[in-house]
Structure 1
Amino acid sequence: MSRASRLLGWLILAAITVATVAPIGYRPVSTMPVSVERFSAFAALAFLLSVGYPRHRWQILALTIGAAGLLEAMQLLEPTRHGRVADFLVKVVGCGFGAAASLAAGLVWPRLATRGEA
């Protein structure tokens, strides 16, 4: 489970990076509001990496929040994109939710909390 979570987490980070820094015309579009998309993407990212690295949940939370900030800042380099503090805050809340959900999952399914890095 932890290997799959790690792999999926890093793949989601790569997908988020591409979707965030690519020109706006390449941005994937869904029927959900963009704030829900941002929240969900970063919640999934933090959840998967926290499950994958259960002994490093605080570091994963810091990493995902740092990634959110860096990606918002990188949007300022693309003329068709815009980085905003409000978007960053939605992503930070998503990171916190994902990390907390992984902690809760570890309490419900203790094997998630004890499995870890070799």
Structure 2
Amino acid sequence: MFRKLIILAAWCVLGFIIFATMSPVGMRPGTGSAGIERFLAYGLLGTLFVMAYPQHFLRVITLVLVVASALELLQHLTPDRHGHIADAGEKIAGGVAGASIARLAQLLLRAEA
């Protein structure tokens, strides 16, 4: 049951990231520094997907790369948004960091057992 909740949370976070990235600027939720928000959002995404699919670390990394890059490119199709390579870099760094920390925790917990 817990794993199903983690899977649901991972996909919900992905949906929220897509909404926040593609919605008009006025609808975008914000808490302060956009760079930190991007890093943390994708860090959570990477963490949750590694927890949801622990045997698919490289696929999770690929998902983070594809989603971050695709959403930055898709922003060029909206009238009030614009994608930047630096933004994609922050997102990718956050996703890889979150996924890596989650994977390291899994390996350490497995070694203790």
1:52-103 CA-partner distances (Å, limit 9, x unpaired)? 1011010011011100111111111111111000000001101110111111
* Structure 1 match to 2:73: 73
* Structure 2 match to 1:100: 100
2 CA distance for matches of 1:103 and 1:50? 7
1:23-68 CA-partner distances (Å, limit 9, x unpaired)? 101000113x110000000010011001110110100110111001
After TM superposition, the score normalised by the length of structure 1 is 0.88
* Structure 1 match to 2:7: 6
Structure 1 stretches (4+) deviating beyond 4 angstroms? none
Task: Return the offset for 1:109.
Answer: 2.7
Calculate the aligned-residue CA RMSD, in Å: 1.4
Contact kept? 2:39, 2:94, Cα under 8 Å: yes
Partner-residue secondary structure (3-state), 1:83 = coil
* Structure 2 match to 1:116: none
% identity of equivalent residues = 34
Structure 2 unaligned blocks of 5 or more? none
Structure 1 unaligned blocks of 5 or more? 111-118
Partner-residue secondary structure (3-state), 1:109 = helix
After TM superposition, the score normalised by the length of structure 2 is 0.92
